[in-house]
A and B are shown apart, each in its own frame.
Chain A
């Protein structure tokens, strides 16, 4: 059974950088793309981007200028970095395996609040 466990800072000030990490347990890490998603009342569910084990990435154009997704395949982990955050980036952030026609798996979510 695949499990995703995520962690990172939950309270940020405007202009800081959001950093979250997701660890994958069980199943294969290679051969899949691993995603970050966020959800806010204003914007609903937004797919941020994805990465595979070799570091190939795809980003949502809405975030492309501010986001970096990285991978540490030796630890079965991938990370999200979003710079220059504002209050509009306050949301629940999720990591997930969303790959083709395969069963999706999601992390538990991390609430991120941006406030001065």
Chain B
């Protein structure tokens, strides 16, 4: 199976600070990256879709200036939560799409963000 890593696995920060989450596809190239978030006891909701080298497409209700996505290479995408607030506390999961196998979706292990 494909290996996807996320770093950090958990982070606690003060309100107003920015947090960067990295997602790497370790053994395959991902031309597309999906970023999801999951609030406690809720399901995953798509935040944005990014294609390598292009600007991300954000879902309705997701602020593009607050959640900055960079997909500069085929193996690395980053999500930066800018000026984080307690309501941004959530579980963030990346899902890189393997170009050679678009039927199967892979997920990172997730990053737990807690904003105090």
Q: Is B one of A's binding partners?
A: no
